[in-house]
Amino acid sequence: MALPATTPRAAARCPIAACAPTPPVTAGGRPRELPFALLAERGMMVGGHRGMGMNAVGAPPGARVGAARERENTLLSFGRAAEHAAVAFVEFDVQVTKDGCPVIFHDDFILTQKTEVLYEMRVTDLLLEEFLSYGVQKEPHKVSKPLLRRMEDGRVLTWSTEEDDYLCTLQEVFEHVSPHLGFNIELKFDDNIIYPSVNLNRALQAVLQVVFQYAGNRPLFFSTFQPDAARITRELQSVYPVLFLTEGGTAKHDDTRRNSLDNAIHVCQEYDLHGVVSEVRGVLKNPSAILKAQESNLAILTYGQLNNVREAVYVQYLMGVNGVIVDLVEEISNAVADFSKPDLGQSTFSNSVDIGRKHESFSQQQLGFLLRLIPELIQQPH
């Protein structure tokens, strides 16, 4: 089927996956090692959420996590994150346009307004050229469509940031972001859609084609809330780790595979995945799952608002969590670097903690203290 004519920028950024990709291998014919080998030297990895942090549109004044200075999921935000040596990777969301082009965008729908009329389109129903026409434009002669964002409560708000940047494709991210910065590519699918395997396969092959062509030696891993997408990604390639995303029991879904941290670990075992990325409350409420994951040689990473609280991250550090995805990138990455210092025993956090035995010294009393704080912390504006 012939594709519509596109602009030069769109044409240059629109590789169409036509066949299953062939995974690259290192010298000697063996797949690359997991990027989690970095854990041995880092102790705990810090990842920037959508770059330097998500844009919390509509957050009240004084909120701890507000609208990040940079627009999320853009080259500007990724580049700023790369400037922080303690940041191991950035997490970002990839969707595939109607004409088969992987782009970086979190929300399932993209909104704009013209003459007081609201226009709302599903990202995957747009052609690449249409997607790139939203927001600030790379070419100065083009008129930008203002971006709006729909909140969970149904409100639609203007999506403005202090520093703006244009929407981008997966290829552009590989080409323009420092190759030393790791990527956590979240394979984004709508929770409210049941996808036939053929549709999942088509979208995943489009993403993998770009990854295999442009990743080079960059450390990266995939993650997704869609369990069948995780399974298919693992079947299509064995080069890059695949992690399963879960709310850890903080939300309920018709698909029971998504309803608990224990179920997520079972998914990893069944599909030969490499680890779990859990909402942080799921891990704090079920710390025994960390040992279960470790016994299965699975990595455990977390995301969520509590990861912007230094004390919550510190407890995870003691528990043996392998990485945290955060919005307050500079503050938390500096805190984690401080946790790892040899003289940490002199800090106010750890007068009674033997860092040489950090995992063994973690107590139920410490966990109980944090769990008592959770209701207050999650009710704070963010």
Q: How confident is the model at residue 347 (pLDDT cuts 50, 70, 90)?
A: very low
Average pLDDT for the chain: 84
Domain for residue 65, yes or no?
A: yes
How confident is the model over 57-81, as pLDDT tens digits?
888 776 766 656 899 999 999 999 9
Residue 139 corresponds to which tokens in the numbers above?
Answer: 């070419």
Domain for residue 192, yes or no?
A: yes
Q: Could you tell me the maximum CA-CA distance found in the chain, to the nearest angstrom?
A: 68
Domain for residue 154, yes or no?
A: no
Question: Is the pLDDT score of 328 beyond 60?
Answer: yes
Q: How confident is the model at residue 296 (pLDDT cuts 50, 70, 90)?
A: very high
Question: Is the pLDDT score of 380 beyond 70?
Answer: no
Domain for residue 17, yes or no?
A: no
Nearest partner of 373 among 328, 323, 315, 333, judged by Cα: 315
What is the model's pLDDT at position 339? 84
How confident is the model over 162-203, as pLDDT tens digits?
899 999 999 999 999 999 999 999 999 999 999 999 999 999
What domain range is 328 assigned to? Answer: 35-105+168-338+363-379
Q: Is residue 300 within 8 Å of 283, Cβ to Cβ?
A: yes
Nearest partner of 243 among 268, 260, 262, judged by Cα: 268
Round to whole Å and give the CA distance between 155 and 330.
Answer: 30
Classify residue 351 as exposed, middle or buried by CB count within 10 Å of its CB (0-12, 13-18, 19+).
exposed
Residues 138-163, mean pLDDT to the nearest whole number: 91
Q: Who wins on pLDDT, 260 or 139? A: 260
Domain for residue 18, yes or no?
A: no
Round to whole Å and give the CA distance between 275 and 265.
Answer: 8
How many structural domains compose the chain?
Answer: 1
Residue 157: strand, helix, or coil: strand
Q: Over pLDDT 70: what percentage of the chain?
A: 76
Residues 124-132, mean pLDDT to the nearest whole number: 97
Residue 204 corresponds to which tokens in the numbers above?
Answer: 């995943």
Domain for residue 144, yes or no?
A: no
Nearest partner of 299 among 327, 278, 329, judged by Cα: 278
DSSP state of 235: H
